[in-house]
Chains A and B, each alone.
Chain A
Amino acid sequence: EDQVTQSPEALRLQEGESSSLNCSYTVSGLRGLFWYRQDPGKGPEFLFTLYSAGEEKEKERLKATLTKKESFLHITAPKPEDSATYLCAVGKTSYDKVIFGPGTSLSVIP
């Protein structure tokens, strides 16, 4: 069965303290791994799509990487405004849907 897990469930960082979030997946026919940011009471906001192992994407303080079994979202020198839940989702060949993981709730303390 297809599965997407994320760790840790929650992460509390001091401002400027870099860290990584993990997304592990067991999916047959992976066709895209997506990272989204979700603020409380809001919809998922697109961050990155990765398609193949070894691929990396960057946006401001965020960098996403992909291996054959997992993806990492690295946050460098985070600021309080980076506080949110970060969602990982996977797409599959021939399927018109993405499967979301449970998310990592990130809090960045000033």
Chain B
Amino acid sequence: EPEVTQTPSHQVTQMGQEVILRCVPISNHLYFYWYRQILGQKVEFLVSFYNNEISEKSEIFDDQFSVERPDGSNFTLKIRSTKLEDSAMYFCASSRDRVYSSGNTIYFGEGSWLTVV
């Protein structure tokens, strides 16, 4: 079964450093997402991406965050200057169609656990 793959699985970084989390979405999918989950809390939406641009973003997704699809297969989340409160599991997800399209499914990766020290 096709799956969303994420790297690294775990990263420890110093506060203030830049981090790039990488994802390979399912190959025929057109919509890409990043969510995060702080330990013990809900899964929260960060950003959605379609046709090489952001289609929606949350209040969490401020200027320190950026997303990119640098080639035909990868989708990245960059955090420019990490803070302690950025420590969380970051999930990449993809779907073939828009969230609200009938029959559409969002598939999630296994996550990248980011620890900021």
Could you list which residues of chain A lie within 8 angstroms of chain B, going by C-beta atoms?
A: 31-32, 34, 36, 41-46, 49, 51, 87, 89, 91-103
Contact with A along B19-63 (1 / 0, CB 8 A): 000000000000101010000011111001010000110100000
Could you list which residues of chain B lie within 8 angstroms of chain A, going by C-beta atoms?
A: 4, 31, 33, 35, 41-45, 48, 50, 55-56, 58, 89, 91, 98-100, 102-111, 113
User: What is the bound-complex CA distance between A100 and B98, given in angstroms?
Assistant: 17
Closest to A103 in B: B42
Instruction: Pick the most buried of B35, B42, B50, B56: most chain A CB atoms within 10 A of its CB.
Output: B42
Q: Are B91 and A49 in contact (CB under 8 A)?
A: no
* CB < 8 Å neighbour of A93 from B100, B103, B104, B113: B100
Q: Are A44 and B108 in contact (CB under 8 A)?
A: yes
Q: Are A43 and B110 in contact (CB under 8 A)?
A: yes
- Of the A-B pairs whose beta carbons lie under 8 Å apart in the complex, a sample of 7, sorted by A's number, is A87-B43, A91-B100, A96-B55, A96-B56, A96-B98, A97-B45, A97-B48
User: What is the bound-complex CA distance between A95 and B3, given in angstroms?
Assistant: 24
Q: Are A42 and B111 in contact (CB under 8 A)?
A: yes
Chain B residues near A46: list those with CB within 8 A.
105-108
Q: Are B100 and A32 in contact (CB under 8 A)?
A: yes
Q: A44-B91, A95-B100, A100-B42 are in contact. Are A34 and B110 (CB under 8 A)?
A: no
Q: Are A100 and B99 in contact (CB under 8 A)?
A: no
Q: Are A97 and B99 in contact (CB under 8 A)?
A: yes
User: What is the bound-complex CA distance between A51 and B100, given in angstroms?
Assistant: 9
User: What is the bound-complex CA distance between A100 and B106, given in angstroms?
Assistant: 13
Q: Are A100 and B43 in contact (CB under 8 A)?
A: yes
* CB < 8 Å neighbour of B106 from A42, A93, A98, A101: A98
Chain B residues near A34: list those with CB within 8 A.
106
Q: A96-B31, A97-B45, A97-B48 are in contact. Are A91 and B99 (CB under 8 A)?
A: yes
Chain B residues near A97: list those with CB within 8 A.
33, 45, 48, 56, 58, 99
Chain B residues near A96: list those with CB within 8 A.
31, 33, 48, 50, 55-56, 98-99
16 additional A-B pairs beyond A43-B108, A46-B106, A89-B43, beta carbons within 8 Å, are A32-B99, A32-B104, A41-B111, A43-B4, A43-B111, A44-B91, A45-B108, A46-B105, A87-B43, A91-B99, A96-B33, A96-B98, A97-B56, A98-B99, A100-B42, A102-B41
